[in-house]
Amino acid sequence: MAELRPMYMSDLNTVVKIIEATDEDDAEEAREIYQEYGVEGQFVLEHDNKIIGVIGYSEVPGTDGTYWLSWTYLDPAFQGLGMGKQMLNDLLNMLREKNGRKIFVKVSDYDDPEDGRVYERAMKLYESVGFVEELVGKDFYDEGENQHIYGLKLRDAASDEEDEVEIADEKPVIRFDGMYEIGDSDGAYTFSWTVKDNKGLFEKRNFTVEDLRLGIDAVRNEGGRKIFLTFPSNLPLIHTPLQAAGFKFVGRLTDYYEKGVHELHFTHDLGNG
């Protein structure tokens, strides 16, 4: 009988080895992330006192019970026995007890020349416990390697669906203040930004198409392939400049921030591929 228990820092090497068996890049990054952010919300699956899997969640700050699934890997020797599904269901139940509302997971559709689509089983697994694909970021990780984001409602539909919510538009003064390559990607960039309390007398409230072009040029100079930006769905002023700067609409993560406030994803292709 395999059971989940909280992960400790002392489990780090074992966990990294399990991830390594499937994805070396992920293992390296996971080690760094665990070391930097700790292992809160992370769990290991133990079978006969031996760690055979890892799973975990991280809460999205500022949202109403939204979580991301963190690295979820199972020792290849134990795959296909229903253990992954059990591990996943145990974690989802944990979040339901914490009154979590929604959980998302990102999956690559990397097609390895030798091993084929290494994450296909993971996708099947997520779908089997109720995850639904919400959007696909084309060429997110690399040229030809897309990012699929799956979402799952943790609360049952009946209790959540009933009440209609009124979402107010917001017009924050967003200013971009940098750009950086997205961690697990090759050549995909995003912008960092700050929200100012007030706009200056002659400033525009929203960022402008010129602001976006500055960022686009900066990414181009770095040799970036694509830019991905995400915004909440209740900001009416962002759409015109995004479109004017050549951004395309990727899709949305439904009810990401709270019920009725989605996360909209946009992308700009720089053609440096």
Partner 1 sequence: MFPIGDDNPQINTPIATYVIIGLNALAWLLLQGMGSGSTLNASVCQYGLIPADLFGAMEAAKPVCPPGSGWSGLLTSMFMHGSWMHILGNMWFLWVFGDNVEDSMGSVRFAIFYVLCGLGAAAAQILSNVHSTIPMVGASGAIGGVMGAYLMLYPRVKVHLLVFIITFRVPAVAMLGYWIAVQLLGGFSSLHASGGGVAFWAHVGGFAAGALLILVMKDDELLVKHEFHGWSQSADPAGIWDDPANRQ
Piece of the chain touching partner 1 by CB under 8 A; list 91-99, 173-181, 212-220, 249-257? 249-257
| Least distance to partner 1, CB of residue 179, Å | 20
| Least distance to partner 1, CB of residue 156, Å | 24
| Least distance to partner 1, CB of residue 24, Å | 29
Binding mask 98-137 for partner 1 (x = CB under 8 A): ---------------------------------------x
Of the two residues 4 and 238, which places its CB atom closer to partner 1 in the complex? 238
- Rule CB under 8 A: choose which of 60, 167, 173, 214 binds partner 1: 167
| Contacts of partner 1 in 133-162 (CB under 8 A) | 137-138
Do residues 57 and 103 lie in contact, with contact meaning Cβ atoms separated by under 8 Å? Answer: yes
Q: Is 259 in the site for partner 1 (CB under 8 A)?
A: no
Q: Is 85 in the site for partner 1 (CB under 8 A)?
A: no
| Contacts of partner 1 in 189-248 (CB under 8 A) | 233-234, 236-237, 239-240, 242-243, 248
Chain residues binding partner 1 by CB under 8 A are 137-138, 167, 169, 233-234, 236-237, 239-240, 242-243, 248-252, 262, 264, 267
